[in-house]
Amino acid sequence: MNQFWKEKSFEQMSHEEWESLCDGCAKCCLIKLRDSKTKTVKFTNVVCRYLDLQTCHCSDYPNRHENVPECIFLTPELARHLDWLPKTCAYRLVADGKDLPWWHPLKTGDPNSARKAGGTVYGKVVSESEVDDADLEDMVVNWFE
């Protein structure tokens, strides 16, 4: 197995290697609330309206930034410093010098292994198209961090 993430910096990775780090968990597609006083970020179990809840893939990936201006465009710099990236996010793990989990598709060779291992949002979220903004505070959860 080519464990390039242990040997290369983000900047040394090819575009394909960088993209393949994403495990497809879709946790970065969750609606987040930032506490105005503490500035901490809280995750909800509500997910962006463009996420396909069956596949956990963006339904319009090429146009995601036009569709959702706040949709993240992850860079090495952000991977190192973004405070709300989930602890399981592969980019955060690698930025922190940690290995990928056993269920990561790069380790298993199975593109669905993250989902099979329960590592994605599959089955745990509702779409924001089904939720009133006023109810988001009531949908904060702590198991996506």
Binding site for ligand SF4 (CB under 6 A): 22-29, 48, 50-51, 58, 64, 67-68, 71, 74, 86, 89-91
The minimum distance between CB 37 and ligand SF4, in angstroms, equals: 26
**C-alpha distances out from residue 66 to 46, 71, 127, Å:** 20, 9, 19
SS3 61: helix
Strand partners, 30: 47
Shorter beta-carbon distance to ligand SF4: residue 8 or 103: 103
Looking at beta carbons only, is 37 or 46 nearer to ligand SF4? 46
| In the complex, least distance from residue 102 CB atom to ligand SF4, rounded to whole angstroms | 15
Minimum CB–partner distance for residue 16 and ligand SF4 (Å): 15
C-alpha–C-alpha distance, residues 43 and 21, integer Å: 22
CB 10 within 8 A of CB 79: yes
Fill in the amino acid letter for 20: S
Q: Which is nearer to ligand SF4, 38 or 73 (CB)?
A: 73
